[in-house]
A and B are shown apart, each in its own frame.
Chain A
Amino acid sequence: MTTLTKQPDPGLSARAPRKSRKRGKPSDGFRGIGDLKVALFFIAPAMVGLILFYLVPTIRGIYLSFTEYSILGDPEWIGAQNYERIAKDPLFWNALGVTAEYVLINIVLQTALALGLAILMHRVAKSTLIRGALLMPYLMANVIAALLWFWMLDYQIGIINQIIEWTGLPRVAFFGSEQWAIPTQALINTWRHMGYTALLIFAGLQAIPNSVYEAASIDGSKAVSTFWRITLPLLRPVLVLVLVVTVIGSFQVFDTVAVTTAGGPVNATRVLQFYIYQRAFNEQDFGYGSALAVILFLILAIVAFIQMKFLRGNQSDLD
């Protein structure tokens, strides 16, 4: 239950060579097929699910991205034309830019706030009740978070704009202005994920043994430098995990946008997944939608790879 910091490589020492991804325990020391027959029985249902709803759709999705297909009739092979069209599609580049902005705001805001919160919890309050309170927003559906803030941030009678006006500032059209629409979506997401991310980091903080801090204080390390030189580096695996989860999750933003701004004003919130949805389901252009989905898939794979590779997220410096 507590293995957060060890994932995704449980039981292996930190300085083990990077290639040894295989799990230590099982499979060593037996020959032949072992319990293969029984095993097949036990994994049969899961295997059906894997093949029908993951593997086949993956291949079919890639195939469809090379076709022209409007649901009616059969897909027609057109080579890489969809990809060529995408390269020249201003709406795609807009979607990519808007999504990137959303991801960026989320990373910075969410990680900073969650890190601060985790440290606060670690210092002054570890009770389950407090952690539960902070986790509440995360348990709500995106749709609920979206509607809740759509009301609170309403330009006319939303409470937040009411408060803004009291402080003497002009009201903000959170959802209505092109400039604010994406930051607002990111704020909703940050609100929903802040506590959850803080709990992840909190679990990482709990895993750092006290002896490390004691040694630092004996060596005369100041509070600030202890944080930068000891706490933060030891938190690296957790922070990388948080980063990967945040980036991959935010790249797939859809629900809050679909319920509130539906891509607008103009194209300000036409994020990637919403654009894919529109092309595939509103315009019945499944080939083009699939090609866009392939590109999203590739972006996520590259992002995850870079983060794991260069930030060494799968290795801990503890032990």
Chain B
Amino acid sequence: MTILTSPRNAGRRRPLSRPFNWRRAIALTLLTLAIAVSILPFYWVLRTALSSNGSLAANSANLLPADFNLGAFKRVFGLQSASEAIAEGGSGASINFWQYLWNSLLFSGITTACAVFFSSMAAYAFSRLRWKGRDAVFSLFLATMLVPPIFTALPNFLLIKNLGLLNSMLGLVLPYLFMTPFAIFFMRQFFLNMSREVEEAAMLDGAKHWRIFFQIIMPNAAAPIATLALLTFMGQWNEYFWPLLVGTSEESRVLTVGLGVFKSQSPQGAPDWSGLMAATLVSATPVLILFAIFGKRIVNSIGFNGTK
């Protein structure tokens, strides 16, 4: 590692006359390796999902799908009869990823929309309004970031259970609806840096705070709101622990939980690898699509995301 550390070797300052730079070549090789390690597993998932279980063992190192077929995807979406599924190495247990996809979409969509909106409202109060005790209350919100989710998950589970909301969408989304401390922190940071001029002009016209918030602040904050919504949505999409506690019935399972169930149903000894990888790919697809569209926004948000 040490040979690469001199700032004088930095790309921008490399002498142009030198025909071949060994250090740069080594650096590029290592970087390529890291990228390969990050990305190639996804190809392997796809390749396995398109293979049939019976041929995997004999072709375990073949780079192309072994005996190409779409049976695994049919199995995942419940399009195969139990006997067909068992013949192809599946468990034969009924599994329906359409249902889980829909639940994941609802769970992530509802919580993102509500949490981002309510957190923005709070962030407005913590940045553009002046009131006594403001910073103390804000610190209280920030402090909750330090509480490990499992600690609150136990009592929250009891609350949801007592409300009779186990295995319901409402029970799943409730704890995430009102705010996330990170979202408040994120939006506040942006609001603090907004210019006061437009706001003050509107104030002179006698506009009320809620009008300023909806007509001036929110439209001007469209970009950070979009970033926050993306990060929140992906975080919720990947959530496992809470849905595992609260949404265990077939009707209320989200994708991550469904994936775990699918794995545990898979025959011991000879797992349904192609089915499992097809299910994995299906679960990953929405995030992959979001990443393909908004990749730049997501990548550039990372420096900020550091406190999460």
Task: List chain A positions with a Cβ less than 8 A from chain B.
Answer: 1-4, 7-8, 10, 22-23, 25-27, 30, 32-36, 38-39, 41-43, 45-50, 52-54, 56-58, 60-61, 64, 71, 116-117, 119-125, 128, 130-137, 139-144, 147-152, 154, 156-159, 162-163, 191, 194-196, 199-200, 203, 210, 213, 216-217, 222-224, 226-227, 231, 238, 241-242, 245, 248, 251-252, 254-255, 258-259, 273, 276-277, 280-281, 286, 289-290, 293-294, 296-297, 300-301, 304
Q: Does B69 lie at the interface of the complex (its beta carbon under 8 Å from any beta carbon of A)?
A: no
B263 to chain A, nearest CB (A): 6
User: What bracket does the count of chain B residues touching chain A fall in?
Assistant: 35 or more
- Judge whether B56 and A199 touch: CB under 8 Å: no
Tell me the number of A-to-B contacts counted with CB atoms below 8 Å: 331
- Judge whether B125 and A42 touch: CB under 8 Å: yes
- Judge whether A300 and B148 touch: CB under 8 Å: yes
> Known contacts A53-B152, A135-B302, A226-B5; is A281 also within 8 Å of B245 by CB?
yes
Residues facing A in B108-130 (CB within 8 A) are 118-119, 121-122, 124-127, 129-130
- Judge whether A50 and B155 touch: CB under 8 Å: no
C-alpha gap A92/B41 in the complex (Å):
35
The one of A54, A227, A251, A304 that contacts B152, using a Cβ cutoff of 8 Å = A54
Q: A2 to chain B: which residues have CB within 8 Å?
A: 303-304
- Judge whether A46 and B122 touch: CB under 8 Å: yes
* Residue among A71, A156, A158 with max Cβ neighbours from chain B (10 Å): A156
C-alpha gap A130/B295 in the complex (Å):
11
> Known contacts A42-B121, A117-B31; is A199 also within 8 Å of B302 by CB?
yes
Per-residue A-contact encoding for B137-177, CB less than 8 Å = 1, 0 else: 10011001011111110111011010000000000001101
- Judge whether A38 and B209 touch: CB under 8 Å: yes
Q: A8 to chain B: which residues have CB within 8 Å?
A: 307
Q: Which residue of B lies closest to A4 (CB)?
A: B303
> Known contacts A122-B10, A304-B146; is A61 also within 8 Å of B118 by CB?
no
B242 to chain A, nearest CB (A): 11
C-alpha gap A134/B38 in the complex (Å):
6
Contacts A25-B192, A286-B154 supplied; 6 other A-B pairs, CB < 8 Å: A53-B156, A58-B155, A124-B31, A191-B38, A210-B7, A273-B150
C-alpha gap A255/B44 in the complex (Å):
22
Main secondary structure of the interface of B (DSSP, over half): helix
- Judge whether A137 and B38 touch: CB under 8 Å: yes
Q: Does B182 lie at the interface of the complex (its beta carbon under 8 Å from any beta carbon of A)?
A: no
A-B contact pairs, 24 of them (CB 8 A): A3-B189, A4-B306, A26-B130, A41-B210, A42-B213, A43-B122, A46-B178, A48-B178, A54-B147, A61-B151, A134-B35, A147-B263, A148-B45, A154-B273, A157-B57, A162-B61, A194-B38, A195-B34, A196-B302, A200-B306, A222-B6, A223-B6, A248-B148, A259-B263
C-alpha gap A45/B176 in the complex (Å):
12
Q: Does B101 lie at the interface of the complex (its beta carbon under 8 Å from any beta carbon of A)?
A: no
Per-residue A-contact encoding for B58-90, CB less than 8 Å = 1, 0 else: 001100000000000000000000000000000
Q: Which residue of B lies closest to A157 (CB)?
A: B60
Q: B175 to chain A: which residues have CB within 8 Å?
A: 49, 53
The one of B6, B39, B152 that contacts A133, using a Cβ cutoff of 8 Å = B39
Per-residue A-contact encoding for B1-16, CB less than 8 Å = 1, 0 else: 1111111111100000
B77 to chain A, nearest CB (A): 17
Q: Does B299 lie at the interface of the complex (its beta carbon under 8 Å from any beta carbon of A)?
A: yes
Q: A57 to chain B: which residues have CB within 8 Å?
A: 151-152, 154-156, 159
- Judge whether A144 and B280 touch: CB under 8 Å: yes
Q: Which residue of B lies closest to A51 (CB)?
A: B178
C-alpha gap A147/B295 in the complex (Å):
24
The one of A38, A128, A141, A227 that contacts B283, using a Cβ cutoff of 8 Å = A141
- Judge whether A294 and B259 touch: CB under 8 Å: no
Q: Which residue of B lies closest to A260 (CB)?
A: B263
A6 to chain B, nearest CB (A): 10
> Lowest 8 A-B CB distances belong to which pairs?
A49-B178, A223-B6, A203-B303, A141-B238, A227-B5, A46-B122, A57-B155, A42-B125
Q: Which residue of A lies closest to B245 (CB)?
A: A281
A143 to chain B, nearest CB (A): 4
